[in-house]
Structure 1
Amino acid sequence: MGQDVDRTTFSRQDRQNYRAKVQRCLDALGVMLKEHTFARDEPMTGLEVELNLVDQDLAPSTTGADVLASMGAGEFQSELGRWNMELNLPPRPLPGDQWRRLEHQLLDELATARSHALDHGARLAVIGILPTLEKRHLVAEALSPDRRYAMLNEQMLHARGEPIRLDIAGDDPSGRHDVTPEHLVADFDSIAPEAACTSMQLHLQVPPDSFAAYWNAAQCLAGVQLAVGANSPFLLGSRLWAETRIPLFEQSCDVRTPELRNQGVRPRVWFGERWITSVLDLFTENGRYFPALMPVAEDAEPFEELAAGTVPGLDELRLHNGTIWRWNRPVYDIANGTPHLRVENRVLPAGPTVVDMVANALFFYGLLRELVEADRPLWSTMSFEAAEENFTTAARHGLDGPLYWPGNGWIRPDELVLRKLLPQAAAGLARWGVTTEVAERYLGVIERRCVERRTGASWQLDTVAALEARGADRQAALHGMLERYLESSTANEPVHDWPLPS
């Protein structure tokens, strides 16, 4: 949700008018999809990475605004927590060696951020969940002062009507059957727990007539992405899921009371419930199932803009879409006066390193292209329920949880990647025009990660276990692990090569 919000209160009439305006935007989009020209040039990609700042004691550092101010205008912006920042790199095409250049740019941008953070006594942590967070850090005062975040906090708490509850039961995400599962239950009076989730978001611009295929393919791949990319096993001192960021984000943004959940009311952080045939399916569901959180209606009327020959901004539709956090979200936007559609993939955590993140991205983009252009779509042989179960299983267990894959049945994720998906990803990247050298560099990272069975999550778990075996308590082990993590992450060595405490 990047749009500014300058309202503080909303009337009943505001909400009624906003609902009607969202519907007019949806109707206008339907007309545009039939009659208007959307961007169909070289497909563009985008990358966003959410970051953490920690102080010299490795606790969250609420210096985000100061660090941003010292950097001035650039690719960084504020995020929900005062210890968060977000890096948005400019869109770029996939072909050639563009993503090798992106790796260098990402390294340069993070080096700049690290330098400015040090000026304010802070360090940069690129990780899915900051493992040194404590409950006392997740309070309303820790939210960024931006007005849109204050409004989001107020409206979400008002809609829920009671504290936000986290209830996450771990079930041995490391695969060690001699480890007792842990359970976290905690209540919060703000949406600050959402700020504990730091992710990498991948964008891909696609033509309208291909959007459904790309979105369906992305849903198929969500479980595999999590299995090989998990990097968030700890929250508030508890060892939970391999990718605890998934249930944390789902619960911290849940405005439903238990009674509404029992009635089957849909959550705002949503995997979905069916394959689609058009991007309109998703935007229609948004309007049909989800009440407005911030019903700000603009003066512009989409059909008047169409009649005048201008491209409608569809501001209400976009704002509403920004308050529904699908793991693969549709995006409508305008660039250089031309409308376009994007799939925004929100599945992956940040980190562990730049080379790991670029490898995760190209593995996804390559597989996506290959699945979309397959003779028989994968989603025609996989139920939507199976795709969602894969997603949850991978979030819980990482590489240790078997996934269902048509033609293979139930198979461990690393075996699936090594036997089948890596060659498909290579073929897909070749279709995109990515050079062989670039494809081999980054897919090689995914291959070694699967051969070594070492993800960011498993490294964190193994390191903490080793430090605890030496006699450290949990908090000391988490601090020791994070110190090692920051050193290896900055060095940009892929996580499968990171050493464990001897």
Structure 2
Amino acid sequence: MVSPALGADVLPIKRGDSMGRHVQDQAFKPVDRQRYRNKMQRGLDALARMLAEGNFSFPHQQMGLEMELCLVDEQMEPSMSNAVVLEKISEPAFTTELGQQNIELNVDPQVLAGDSALELEKRVRAALQRADGGAHDAGAKIVMIGTLPTLRSAHFDPNWLSRNPRYSLLNEQIFLARGEEMLLDMEGVPLTEGHSERLRSYADSILPESACTSVQLHLQVAPEDFAAHWNAAQCLAGVQVAIGANSPFLLGKALWHETRIPLFLQATDTRPVELKNQGVRPRVWFGERWITSIFDLFEENVRYFPALLPEPVEEDPVAALDAGRAPTLAELRLHNGTIWRWNRPVYDLVDGVPHLRIENRVLPSGPSVVDTVANAAFFYGAQRALTEQDRPLWTQMSFAAAEENFFAGARQGFEAHLYWPSVGWVSPDELVLRRLLPMAHDGLRAYGVSDAARERYLGVIEQRCLAGRNGATWQRETVAMLENGGADRHEALVGMLRRYIDLADNGDPVHTWPVG
């Protein structure tokens, strides 16, 4: 089961997640939305009181990890078999995801200090090896990758939604709000010398979102420290996605280095073009300002976004506080689960005691387990160091600059130019090597991370930046090589994916992977 301390995911009301309950498969009435809005306002009132009174638990710094995974068959095509695979795996740490070609691994929370990162790598590797054995029995193979390159438009048919009412209900509500088909429209970065490729495709379900397989990092923080940690995470998002990109192909096209970013935004967009033109905010959202409290983010949720799943519970959160109980804030939490911020605020309860955490959703899945843990170590270390600076970075740069960095890093990866205060415009590898890597070392030391763990994982980041190779660059180079050898695009994607799986299974970091 997903630990109640650190479980939350890209979609709402997952078994064991922070929403804590199942949404009924039903049609919502106008009166439901008004009642739900009123309950969310009551939840905001309760949250404000709790923050003022200091009612939160923070015994020690904990981290958690969720990893979304893809299933393929022997031909490297998506394997729509997650129900059978999960039955074969038979471990509660593995759960369903949106599409039938997806599963998710949830890792129990643990402290950051000592050799925890080394143990995490062993645990994740062992869990994936066991799960791959179960998948093999079902005729499938598990892949850690940001976007599965062999997906086709036919795989976005609503029939391929996982068999859970919450997915079909969410699909229905998003399309009711939008009123028309989803448009996937993005221009890529040229694979070799020549013209860029363009994707323009329509979908009648939210299943294109299932092509976005990510790693989500959780960090439990004290309420008074939340704003600094969230602001720091926003500053780091562009760097994270640039050096960790692993999603260069979608529907046969070479697109962004981290195509998950525009794909996720477009695949869950409730806005027709007219509302976009008016400046209405998307539900996949970077944000628009630095914050001073976690309250700012929950208040924005209620102020700007209509409820997609307006099903209130009986509890009055203010009355619960008056009675000496921590409220579940069920409406706020469920609503928060349908607004996909790249750094999401989370309120949760463990044994009736509330706590707060940040869910970092920037990173793609893969390429290897050691790359995943290295990405996590870099994020936690650099984030901690940024929060302890005498003059916070976010007081020296505009929020718009952080957002521009995010999209530039996603589009161009290592080839991006990012803005950084006191440095100016700089490449991601140079920024990491000159500034952020030493800071990440300091941050991990402050957490009490062992020298062995710190050197192992930040060493991977250092070598990746020196080599200029992440999952996206390796995939792009390999496909280009195969096409130069005479393969068409589909053959090249299949051949690349076979090599990718073999190299990932070997366990070496991606910067060491050969091309050819």
Q: TM-score, normalised by structure 2?
A: 0.96
Deviations, residues 152-191 of structure 1 (Å, cap 9, x unaligned): 001001110000110011133x5x5x13200000001111
Structure 2 counterpart of 1:429: 444
**Distance between the aligned counterparts of 1:493 and 1:36, measured in 2?**
45
Other structure's SS at 1:46 match: strand
Structure 2 counterpart of 1:443: 458
User: Shift in Å at residue 6 of structure 1?
Assistant: 1.2
Deviations, residues 209-261 of structure 1 (Å, cap 9, x unaligned): 11000000000000000111000000000000000000000000101000000
Q: Unpaired segments of 5 or more residues in structure 2? A: 1-11
RMSD value over aligned CA atoms?
Answer: 0.8
Other structure's SS at 2:326 match: coil
User: Shift in Å at residue 336 of structure 1?
Assistant: 2.5
**Distance between the aligned counterparts of 2:492 and 2:63, measured in 1?**
38
Structure 2 counterpart of 1:188: 203
User: Shift in Å at residue 304 of structure 1?
Assistant: 1.5
Other structure's SS at 1:52 match: strand
Structure 2 counterpart of 1:149: 167
User: Shift in Å at residue 392 of structure 1?
Assistant: 0.5
Matched, 1:490 2:505: yes
Specify the code of the residue in structure 2 equivalent to 1:329: R
User: Shift in Å at residue 452 of structure 1?
Assistant: 0.5
User: Shift in Å at residue 434 of structure 1?
Assistant: 0.2
**Distance between the aligned counterparts of 2:445 and 2:195, measured in 1?**
45
**Distance between the aligned counterparts of 1:14 and 1:463, measured in 2?**
52
2:30 to 4, 12, 17: 12
Structure 1 counterpart of 2:253: 238
User: Shift in Å at residue 281 of structure 1?
Assistant: 0.5
Structure 1 counterpart of 2:278: 263
Write the mapping of 1:364-379 to structure 2, written as runs, cut at 5 A: 364-379=379-394
User: Shift in Å at residue 73 of structure 1?
Assistant: 4.0
**Distance between the aligned counterparts of 2:508 and 2:410, measured in 1?**
24
Structure 1 counterpart of 2:429: 414
Structure 2 counterpart of 1:55: 73
User: Shift in Å at residue 330 of structure 1?
Assistant: 0.2
Other structure's SS at 1:103 match: helix
Structure 1 counterpart of 2:7: none
Structure 1 counterpart of 2:3: none
Other structure's SS at 1:367 match: helix
Contact 2:243 2:470 (C-alpha < 8 Å) held by counterparts: yes
Contact 1:230 1:398 (C-alpha < 8 Å) held by counterparts: yes
User: Shift in Å at residue 309 of structure 1?
Assistant: 1.3
Structure 1 counterpart of 2:515: 500
**Distance between the aligned counterparts of 2:226 and 2:183, measured in 1?**
35
Other structure's SS at 2:469 match: coil
Contact 1:7 1:296 (C-alpha < 8 Å) held by counterparts: no
Contact 2:69 2:143 (C-alpha < 8 Å) held by counterparts: yes
**Distance between the aligned counterparts of 1:143 and 1:60, measured in 2?**
13
1:137 to 127, 148, 155: 155
Write the mapping of 1:84-483 to structure 2, written as runs, cut at 5 A: 84-172=102-190, 176=192, 178-483=193-498
2:101 to 77, 80, 83: 83
Contact 2:89 2:135 (C-alpha < 8 Å) held by counterparts: no
Specify the code of the residue in structure 2 equivalent to 1:489: A
Contact 1:106 1:354 (C-alpha < 8 Å) held by counterparts: yes
Specify the code of the residue in structure 2 equivalent to 1:446: I
User: Shift in Å at residue 437 of structure 1?
Assistant: 1.0
Specify the code of the residue in structure 2 equivalent to 1:91: P
Contact 2:88 2:138 (C-alpha < 8 Å) held by counterparts: no
**Distance between the aligned counterparts of 2:169 and 2:502, measured in 1?**
37
**Distance between the aligned counterparts of 1:267 and 1:95, measured in 2?**
37
**Distance between the aligned counterparts of 1:40 and 1:430, measured in 2?**
20
Q: TM-score, normalised by structure 1?
A: 0.98
**Distance between the aligned counterparts of 2:329 and 2:91, measured in 1?**
27
User: Shift in Å at residue 40 of structure 1?
Assistant: 1.8
User: Shift in Å at residue 7 of structure 1?
Assistant: 3.5
1:27 to 45, 66, 80: 45
**Distance between the aligned counterparts of 1:73 and 1:20, measured in 2?**
39
Specify the code of the residue in structure 2 equivalent to 1:49: M
Other structure's SS at 2:149 match: coil
